[in-house]
Structure 1
């Protein structure tokens, strides 16, 4: 599976988005069963996209991230291209549809 960097502050999140042309951030909470079930599926899917850098933020550790990124539920999956948010999925994610969206953006940006 692909390596996922853990981010621990808003500054780290903003920097991660800024320095990586294609960035994917997975936002979850410690006691979220949906978050824990979805994460391995996301990691596996992302192996198809070697140019996308992955990161994880735990809202329990970085509570202010919810306001900073307008997050109302978890998990939240964000794909950024050139610093611009291109995909936002939350809570119950349809993996096939997400993969199709990522594939189109990936092809356009690589």
Structure 2
């Protein structure tokens, strides 16, 4: 049992038990979070600096993570928006950032 518990994360047994989540390390999760935050920052910049109110870009979809499903229970490979996320107008962003 000690040998099985201490197998590397990418071993066949770990993949069988945990699925695709076994292949993601802490670094992979942090990198996905970084990509998500940069995408949101770029989206905010574009939304605030767009010339027309009707030309608001779609908010970015987060990087799919293993074992995470959206609020509709759809496949994580299709991407999802963050739970509770609402569309924010460029005017509201401009007022927030002053």
Larger RCO: 1 or 2 (CA < 8 Å, sep 6+): 1
TM-score, normalised to structure 2, is 0.28
TM-score, normalised to structure 1, is 0.26
Larger radius of gyration: 2
